[in-house]
Structure 1
């Protein structure tokens, strides 16, 4: 069995340096695009969730706080629970059509993906 080669991501985001003059470069904070410049996709999924159905919104470009704010808006309007993970909004239940209408009223470009 071959050993897996470790990469930088396996170190948990740490960077080690023996250079005394080393300065940490901060990653650029991704700014949130205005709604008309956003292209979102509304997906239906039940994989890896014990058969539970969810609606997944992908493609959001912006800060984590703005993503959570949008997720909260969708959860309140649909009256269901949900969360954010890996820059995606996960809404419990199959609410794709309703979410597409809500997002379009907010000015987002939304595409319904899947069956």
Structure 2
């Protein structure tokens, strides 16, 4: 079996492969001065964690929402300028946000 690289060399004999350095993408989420609010609620009997009071771009907050959901391997959503995460993960979320450089304020319970 030929490797993919060998097959490509056979198809394109004149091509010189470029060395492309792999760069890890740094997130460029805007950090604000005001603390984010991290609170716990129960809706329909199920626990949720809500993060709110972000005053940057919605697209940045959506990226942050995706990162948190991926980190915790849980579901959640972004709506009405709030990130809603299924389950009570306040401590983990607050640590994650502080590591990113955000100020976080815990509200409730």
Q: Same fold (TM over 0.5)?
A: yes
CA contact (8 A) 1:36 1:107 kept: no
CA contact (8 A) 2:39 2:90 kept: yes
Q: How many residues align?
A: 81
CA contact (8 A) 2:32 2:56 kept: no
Paired with 1:38 and 1:92, the residues of 2 have a C-alpha distance of 25
CA contact (8 A) 2:47 2:86 kept: yes
- Pair member with larger Rg: 2
Question: Match of 2:51, SS?
Answer: strand
The partner residue of 1:57 within 39, 51, 54 is 51
Root-mean-square deviation (CA), in Å? Answer: 1.4
Unaligned runs of 5+ in 1: 1-32
Following TM superposition, the consecutive aligned residue runs of length 4 or more in structure 1 with deviations greater than 3 angstroms are: none
Q: TM-score, normalization: structure 1?
A: 0.66
Question: Match of 1:70, SS?
Answer: helix
What pairs up with 1:70-81 in 2 under 5 angstroms?
70-81=64-75
What pairs up with 1:10-29 in 2 under 5 angstroms?
none
Unaligned runs of 5+ in 2: 1-28
Question: Match of 1:77, SS?
Answer: helix
